[in-house]
Homo-oligomer: A and B are copies of this chain.
Amino acid sequence: MMEQILDVAELLFSKHGFYGVTLKDVAKQVGVHHTLLNYYFDDKQTLFDAVFARRAVVTIEKRMKALDDYDKAAGDSPTVEGALHAFLDTDLDLYIEGGEGWKNYGAFGAQASNSPDGAEYMDKYFDPVVLRLIEILKKALPDSAEEDIFWGYHFVTGALMLTLARTGRIDKLSDGLCHSEDYSAVKQRMARFMAAGFKEICEQRKHDKG
């Protein structure tokens, strides 16, 4: 039951945000009295936290492992593209293969990522993986300015979050040619796209160090 509550809360929060969802909305869709949510979770905030935390650990561990593996395999000469593939593809696979629940979680996180309130959650949970990625990127781009790498990551994460948000915007813009839900299309393109961007801003204009 708790799992069902989390599933529905995840879905609704992903669509309307924390304040746009009432405990009654969730309860109704689960088919249960709304005070049951207070039985399982102290309050609304606790429920939200639980939704966030439930899957966070999975994606974090997977990506961390993928980055470690890549780092080890690449030895002294990791590439930007390799690191991004490890980071992005691992995550995207989760959403591709994980079913509706994971897709909803992606949208849930994506919405958090673009608001100041939600960003604190991102900090709290995802900082370690991100810093691990950045560590490898630095190794791949040894002479680059640190700022360039952070801004590059910023671009990457913005693009990823918009993907996970599944807003349907690209569908309309492209008149049905592309689909928000088509994470495979993103996976095919994203790491290469971003790697090229990194190289452009990092390798070209080396900074005043070293």
Contact = CB atoms under 8 A, between A and B. Distances in A.
Contact of A193 (B16, B17, B147, B197): B197
Task: Bin chain A's interface residue count.
Answer: 35 or more
B186 A192 contact: no
Nearest to A131: B173
A21 B28 CA distance: 24
| Secondary structure type dominating chain A contacts | helix
Nearest to A200: B196
A32 interface: no
B114 A114 contact: yes
Nearest to A148: B189
B200 A17 contact: no
Nearest to A192: B200
A147 B192 contact: no
Contact of A154 (B20, B150, B170, B200): B170
Nearest first, the 10 closest Cβ-Cβ pairs linking A and B are: A158-B162, A196-B200, A119-B167, A193-B197, A19-B19, A158-B159, A155-B159, A19-B20, A114-B114, A196-B196
Interface of A: 15-20, 107, 110-111, 113-119, 122-123, 127, 130-131, 134, 146-148, 150-163, 165-170, 172-174, 177-178, 185-186, 189-190, 192-201, 204
